[in-house]
Amino acid sequence: MKIITELDKLNVREKTAVAIGKFDGIHVGHKELLSRILAKKEEGLKATVFTFDPSPEEFFVGHPVSQLFTREEKLKAFEKLGVDILVMFPLNEKTAATDPEEFVRRILASELNAGFIAAGSDVTFGDKGKGDSELLKRLEKELSYELCIIDKVKIDGEEVSSTRVRNAVSDGDMDLTKKLLGCEYSVSGIVEHGNHLGHTIGVPTVNILPPKMKLLPPYGVYSSTVKVGKHEYKGMTNIGRKPTVSEKEKVGVETYIYDFDRDVYGEYIEVVLHRFVRPEIKFANMEELKKQIAKDIKDSVRS
């Protein structure tokens, strides 16, 4: 997958099928949009995602916002789906003020060589967000691209949005999160050394420290699956600060993997969260913690 992050690299020679969106969480609505450009690959068009970096929400509020997908997770997701070109349009004071019609003519039609454009019915772009689906429709014939405007996808009678996904994750509703995303929620990262306490109590774990802005579900224990390379293993994951053994504020994702004894320090893993087992608890001593972990393992196996 080709990744474009600089304006002077936008000159694409191949004809493209472009999906425009924020893609701050790749939910089922986004996947409906992506399916339209991916289908155009059969006609020889390059499946191209056009999104913004930072996200418009983050840029206009002036501070970081929680992320459903980290940058690394988003790149891997697009690549897995089959996207050929990812444009992460640099959003700043100057680019945000781009005239909407110039945006369509110069960036989409000329520099990205769009032969097909897919966007949501609520799409906005350009100066003060004045660019919309009506502008795209008006310029369709003149600029010789095919336009596909997609209505909001609904689940259980409500529109699917990144805000709704965030609320589901924050509530620990992993079933609803799965429905909205079209897949289970996960946390990824490089395995780091912890305090090795798990080894001393017979429950060795793998630890990752997610970026500060990665949205995490409520602290506690979850049944999980861990993806290491092409392999998958069942596990039990604790998300939180481990109050029984640490006074530090650092939030970690610590997973016990069943029947697993490989050394994976320094490797990239994905922890897929299935079901909430219990909230994080501070125990009086290590013996109580060991008993609870044994119970958690049994409860996770049953899920």
**Within a domain: 286:** yes
Per residue in 23-35, pLDDT tens? Answer: 988 999 999 999 9
Confidence of residue 201 (pLDDT cuts 50, 70, 90): very low
Domain final residue, candidates 97, 125, 159 = 159
- Does residue 184 have a pLDDT over 70? yes
Q: What is the largest CA-CA distance in the chain?
A: 74
Q: What percent of the chain has pLDDT over 70?
A: 87
Co-location of 205 and 129 in the same domain: no
pLDDT for 202 beyond 60 = no
Domain-embedded: residue 174:
no
Q: Are residues 115 and 230 in the same domain?
A: no
Looking at the 3D structure of the chain, how many domains does it have? Answer: 2
Question: Are both 213 and 254 inside the same structural domain?
Answer: yes
Q: Using CA atoms, how far apart are residues 52 and 65, in angstroms rounded to an integer? A: 14
Pairing of strands 85-90, 46-53: parallel
Please check whether residues 101 and 192 belong to one and the same domain. no
Mutual angle of helices 162-170 and 174-181, in 10-degree steps: 160
Same domain, 137 and 238: no
**164 belongs to a structural domain:** no
Domain stops at, among 124, 159, 194: 159
**Chain centroid offset of residue 202 CA:** 34
pLDDT at res. 288: 64
Residue 24, in any domain of the structure? yes
User: What whole-number distance in Å separates Cα of residue 188 and Cα of residue 222?
Assistant: 15
**CA distances (Å), origin 301, targets 28, 281, 287:** 29, 20, 22
CATH of the domain at 155: 3.40.50.620
Q: What is the pLDDT of residue 122?
A: 92
Q: What is the mean pLDDT of the chain?
A: 88
What does the alpha-carbon distance between residue 94 and residue 63 come to, in Å, rounded to a whole number? 18
The answer to the question of residue 171 being in a domain is no
Q: Same domain for 147 and 226? A: no
- Specify the range with the lowest mean pLDDT, choosing from 96-100, 116-120, 146-150, 240-244: 240-244
- The verdict on whether omega for the bond into residue 54 sits within 30 degrees of 0, i.e. cis, is yes
pTM flag (> 0.75): yes
Neighbours of 213 (CB within 10 A): 11
Higher pLDDT among residues 80 and 7, named by residue: 80
Residue 39 has pLDDT above 80, yes or no: yes
Note whether residue 165 is domain-resident. Answer: no
Any domain includes 246: yes
Are 108 and 199 found together in one domain? no
**CATH assignment at residue 277:** 2.40.30.30
Q: Which pLDDT belongs to residue 205?
A: 84
Residue 167 lies in a domain: no
Query: Do 202 and 267 fall into the same domain?
Result: yes
pLDDT digit string, tens, across residues 224-267: 999 999 899 999 899 987 644 454 567 889 998 888 888 888 99
Question: Is beta strand 231-240 parallel, antiparallel or unpaired with respect to 46-53?
Answer: unpaired
- Are 227 and 289 within one domain? yes
Q: Are residues 122 and 34 in the same domain?
A: yes
The helix (run of H) or strand (run of E) holding residue 89 is strand 85-90
Count H helices and E strands in the chain, helices first: 10, 14
Q: How far is C-alpha 70 from the chain's CA centre?
A: 6
Same domain? For 47 and 141 the reply is: yes
For the segment 264-285, the average pLDDT, to the nearest whole number, is: 85
Question: The domain containing residue 32 runs over which residues?
Answer: 2-159
Predicted local distance difference test score (pLDDT) of residue 244: 43
Are residues 126 and 210 both part of a single domain? no
Q: What angle is formed at CA 105 by the lines to CA 100 and CA 106, rounded to 5 degrees? A: 95
